[in-house]
Amino acid sequence: MGPGFVILFWLILAGIFGVIWVGSLVLFLVGRWKRKAWLKWLGLIPLVGLTLFAFIAGSVLAVGIVHATTPKYVFFDTFGEKPTADITNIKSKVWSFADEADVHLQFQASPATFNHLLPKDLKQVTLEEYKTKMPDIGGHEWPAWWRPVDESDSEIYLLNTEFGKGKKFATETTLITYDAKSKVVQYFYMGID
């Protein structure tokens, strides 16, 4: 599904929701005006139910946005554990829409912590291998704080899945680098359907 299809789908759902909500409101108001209890209840029940549903859905969306913009939660979602005391200066950027998602994460950690967090399915590559194996990610925008992968990175690990072999998406790219001098870890994940 492309972004246009997803937007169209949600606009249609919102339109249907709005028509039913307004219809319920009209039924409720007509029932009150005509003093017909059954008509008032016929409008009130879906009106209250839809309003509660919208409130809960909006709350879940708001919590999800806060969760995705808080670096310690992004760290937990990425590595499955809370940051330990030796993990500092965590920065993150997460984007997900339609059939694509990406995660940028940067932090400082000791070599032992880096090795502990390193995903087991990634393979260590040289800078030259990275340059040839890293897929072209065209119009992708890197965060302002992101450091390009270069010779200062002591360790570079990369995984590109073939189409249809990803865990969450059809194709996935995972990159993690470590600069032993500055103890900076950078993690990048991109999934595309």
Higher pLDDT: 77 or 136? It is 77
The owner of tokens 């990175």 is 153
Note the pLDDT tens digit of each residue in 17-44. 999 999 999 988 988 898 888 888 988 9
Note the pLDDT tens digit of each residue in 92-146. 998 877 677 788 999 999 988 998 888 888 888 888 888 888 777 766 778 889 8
Distances (CA, A) of 180 to 21, 87, 141: 58, 14, 26
One-letter amino acid for residue 9 of the chain: F
